[in-house]
């Protein structure tokens, strides 16, 4: 199902701003922050405001079209990939990459047994040095 139908099904209007934010997120593996999204869209939509980006992201998150990530910076990052998957951050260049979730199969069940919680989901963040930053400086 496409974003237009999903928005309409949720009683939400389809606006150029909403499409622009979603399409930007869907076309990158970058995990940008609200501000980064705004900076990328501003040249194309010079009337768009940062407040609109925030309001749009809230709508997209609530509609299940986008997920909000918290990689321990002071701002959130956003991801149009809403499937359960984890992230790894480079402590040098701060890029954020995806990790396939099948590496964590069965983990929720294991945790559930050892904690007596009912596990609903998880957010797993790994920190390290990416292949690019491992190369010697020149």
DSSP per-residue codes, 6-41:
HHHHTT----HHHHHHHHHHHT-SS--BHHHHHHHH
Q: For binding to DNA (CB under 7 A), which residues are involved?
A: 7-8, 11-18, 33-35, 45, 47-52, 54-56, 58-59, 74-76
For the CB of residue 75, give the shortest distance to DNA in the complex, in Å.
Answer: 3
Secondary structure (H, E, C), 61-98: HHCCCCEEECCCCCCCEEECCCCCCEEEEECCCCCEEE
Residues 57 and 75: their CA atoms lie apart, in Å, by 13
Beta bridge partner(s), residue 87: 98, 125
Residue with smaller CB distance to DNA, 47 or 138:
47
Selection from a copy of itself, DNA, none that 29 binds (CB < 5 to 8 A by kind) is none
Q: For binding to a copy of itself (CB under 8 A), which residues are involved?
A: 70, 72, 88, 90-91, 97, 99-100, 103, 107-108, 110-112, 114-131, 134
For the CB of residue 30, give the shortest distance to a copy of itself in the complex, in Å.
Answer: 16
For the CB of residue 51, give the shortest distance to a copy of itself in the complex, in Å.
Answer: 17
For the CB of residue 55, give the shortest distance to a copy of itself in the complex, in Å.
Answer: 17
| β-strands 86-90, 77-79 pairing | unpaired
Selection from a copy of itself, DNA, none that 23 binds (CB < 5 to 8 A by kind) is none
Residues 128 and 138: their CA atoms lie apart, in Å, by 21
Residue with smaller CB distance to DNA, 47 or 102:
47
């Amino acid at each position: 199902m496409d974003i237009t139908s999903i928005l309409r099904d949720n009683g939400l209007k389809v606006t150029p701003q909403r499409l622009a934010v979603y399409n930007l997120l869907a076309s990158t593996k970058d995990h940008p922050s609200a501000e980064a999204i705004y900076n990328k869209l501003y040249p194309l939509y010079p009337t768009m405001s940062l407040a609109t980006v925030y309001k749009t992201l809230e709508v997209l998150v609530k509609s299940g079209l986008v997920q909000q990530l918290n990689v321990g910076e002071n701002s959130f990052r956003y991801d149009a990939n809403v499937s359960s998957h984890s992230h790894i951050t480079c402590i040098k260049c701060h890029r954020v990459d995806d990790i396939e979730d099948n590496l964590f199969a069965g983990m929720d069940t294991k945790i559930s047994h050892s904690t007596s919680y009912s596990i609903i989901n998880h957010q797993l963040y790994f920190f390290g040095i990416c292949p690019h930053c491992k190369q010697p400086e020149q």
